A and B are shown apart, each in its own frame.
Chain A
Amino acid sequence: MLGEGILKGLAETARNFLGSYVGKDRLTTVQYPEERLPQIEAARNFPFLVYDGPDWQQGMRCVSCLICEKECPPKCISIEKSKDKKPDATGKPQFYPAVFNIDVSVCMSCQICVEVCPFEAIKMDVEFELSTDDRFGGLLWNKERLARSNEYYRQIHPTEAAAVDAHLAEDRAKLEAKSKAAAEAKSSATAMVSAQPASGVAAEK
C-alpha cells in the first residue's frame, strides 16, 4: 500500500516523542546552564600549571626547561627562563619561569605539553566557560592565571592525580634514599678508609 512506509516512520517518531517523557535514553539533552551533565573525569580543555603548597609562586613545579614550548604543535606557549634559582616547595633551588604565557586562542587542547613534561608541572584543566570579549588580554594567560594548586588537580582528575602523586613520592623517596645511602657510604667509607682500606670497596657497592 502506498504510504505504508511513511506511516511506519510516523509511528516511529510518535514512539520517540512519547518515549521522551518516560525514557532517559530518548531524551538526552539537559537544560544548560541550569542543569549540567556530570563532568567526565578524563575531559581536557586548556593547560594549567601545578603548584605544591600554599604559595603559587614558590610552589610552582615548572623549572622552565622549555620542552613544552618546543614541542607544542601550534606554538602557543611562550616561556622566559629565570636568571636566578629560587627554592621550590621542597626547598631545593630551581630555575623558575620568569614569564609563562599560553595563548589559549591558539591552543588546540592536544595535551602534548602534558605528555612531554618530565616534571608533572603542566596538566589539563576541565573549565570550559571561558568566553571573553578581549581577544588579546582575555585569551593570553600568564602564569598567575595558569597556576592551580595540586589540590585542585586532585579534585578534577582524581585517578590521574593519585598516580602522579604516587610517582612523584616514589621519585622523591628514591632520591632521598640515594642521597642518604651516598652520605652513609661516604661517612662509612671515610671511617673505614682510615681503619681498613680493603672493606671500603664492599661498603660502596
Chain B
Amino acid sequence: MSTATEAVRLIPKPTDSHECQLLEVSMGPQHPSTHGVFRMDVALDGERVVKLKPVFGYLHRNHEKIAETESYLGSMPYTDRLDYMCSLTSNWAYALAVEKLAGIQVPERAEYLRVITAELTRLQNHASLIGFLLQDMGASGTPLMYAFREREKILDLFEALTGARMMCNYMRFGGCRVDMPAGWLQQAQKVVDAFPRFLDEYEQLFTENEILMARTQGVGVLSGELAVNAGITGPMLRASGVNYDIRKVDKYGIYERFAFRVPLGDHGDVYDRYMLRMLEMRESVKILQQALRDIPPGPIMDPKTKIRGFRPKAGEAYGRTESPKGELGFYLISDGSSNPYRYRVRPPSLVNLTVLEGMCLGQNVADVMAILGSVDIVMGEVDR
C-alpha cells in the first residue's frame, strides 16, 4: 500500500513524440465503483490501459493476528466480517476447518440448515453482484435496487433464524447455534418459490440488452489455462470454462445428495461471468428446493462438543468451501491450547485479483470498472 499524493499525473513517455503522453490515474480508494477502499494505479495511453497495479491494505486489521489471541469460538464472529455480504458461508468454512481439525461430526439437520443458509447467501450475493456490476457500468439505481429488494427478503429470513441480517455468527463447531423458529421453513419456501420469477424478470431486463452486450462481450477475457494457473476460483473460473466446483469436487457437508449442475462459460469475458451467476442462482434454487423438502427433524448440535474451553489436539487442518466468491479456505494449526497457533484465511477475493491487470491491459479505461465489477471482490476479505 502506498499513499496517493496526486490523483492524476502526467508521465512523459520515453519516446520523443509530443502528442503522446502516458496519463497516470489513481482510481480509488474512494471511487464508488471499487467496492470498498481499493485503489488501482492505472497508466493510460489515451483511453487504453497500459499498466494497472492494484493497491490493497486500506481495510487491513490483521484478522489472522487477532484470531491467534482469540479462542476458537471467539473468531467465529470475526469471520462474519471477512466477506460481509456472505457471512454464513464464511462461518461454514471456518466451522468446517475446525471440525476437520478436531474430528467433529455434524448432525444431519444442522447440515441441511447449513446448505439452506449457504445457498440463500449465494442467491443474495449473486443477485446484488449483478446489480453492482450494472451500477458500475452506469445503470444507476434500477438493477441494484431490484436486487436489493430481493436480498431484503433473504436478509429477513436470516434475521428470523440467526438474529442478525448480515453478521449472522450462526454456525458452531459441530452444528448450528439455534434451530429454526416456527414458520420459518414455510417463509423460506415462499421466498425460494418466488425467486425464479424474479430471475426471469431480472434476465428480461439485461440478458438481451444491447448496451450490456456491447459493453461486456469480448471485454476482460480470461483464458481457462491462465485462470487455473493463477488460482482463480468460483464463478470467475467457471466462466472461463474450467469445470471446478468444490461443492462437487470435495462434496463437503451433504452436497452429494443434491442434484444440481455446474454451469460453465465459453469465452471467459465479462458477459460470461454475468451469465454464469444468473445460471448459478437457478441451480441454487434447485438445491434449496431439495433441501427444504428433505430437511429431517433431529438435534442441531453435536452433544460432545463444548462451547467453552474448546481445545483441539495439536495438529493442523485445511478446510475449504465454495463460497459465492470462490474457494474460501481456513488453515488452522493447533498447539493444543485454547487459541489457534496459526489461523490463515485463504481469501478468494484477493487471489482472484491476481489477473486483474492481465484482463485490463489494452482495454479502455471505462472497461476497467466492468472488469473489476465482474471479479466480485469484497474488501473486508481482500485486506483482512
Contact = CB atoms under 8 A, between A and B. Distances in A.
Nearest to B78: A73
Contacts of B208: 4-5, 8
B181 A41 contact: yes
B194 A9 contact: no
Is chain B's binding surface mostly helix, strand, loop or mixed? Answer: helix
A116 interface: yes
Contacts of A181: none
B209 interface: yes
A33 interface: no
B181 A42 contact: yes
Interface in A149-199: 159
Interface in A40-76: 40-44, 67, 71, 73
A3 interface: yes
Interface in B175-192: 177-178, 181-182
A124 interface: yes
B210 A5 contact: yes
A103 B159 CA distance: 24
Interface in B48-102: 70-71, 73-78, 80-81
Contacts of B308: 67, 71, 116
Contact of A42 (B142, B162, B204): B162
A2 B214 CA distance: 12
Interface string B149-189: 10011001001111110010100000001100110000000
Contacts of B181: 41-42, 159
Contact of B178 (A11, A15, A42, A43): A42
A42 B307 contact: no
A26 B70 CA distance: 44
Interface residues of A, number: 32
B163 A73 contact: no
Interface in A6-23: 6, 8-9, 11-13, 15-16
A42 B163 contact: yes
B255 interface: no
B318 interface: no
Given A13-B205, A41-B160, A44-B163, A116 B307 contact: yes
B211 interface: yes
Contacts of B167: 108-110
Contacts of B204: 8-9, 11-12
A110 B177 CA distance: 12
A25 B190 CA distance: 12
B74 A9 contact: no
Interface in B197-216: 201, 204-213
A12 B159 contact: no
A90 interface: no
B146 interface: yes
Contacts of A116: 307-308
Contact of B201 (A4, A6, A12, A110): A12
B205 A73 contact: no
Contacts of A42: 159-163, 178, 181
Contacts of B163: 42-44, 111, 124
Contacts of B164: 43-44, 109
Contacts of B205: 8-9, 12-13
B74 A115 contact: no
A9 B152 CA distance: 22
A107 to B, nearest CB: 11
Nearest to A19: B201
B244 to A, nearest CB: 32
Given A4-B208, A41-B181, A116-B307, 6 more contacts: A16-B146, A40-B159, A110-B76, A111-B163, A112-B74, A116-B308
9 contacts: A6-B209, A8-B208, A8-B209, A9-B204, A12-B205, A41-B181, A71-B73, A108-B167, A112-B74
The 5 closest A-B pairs by CB, nearest first: A5-B208, A110-B77, A44-B163, A73-B74, A5-B209
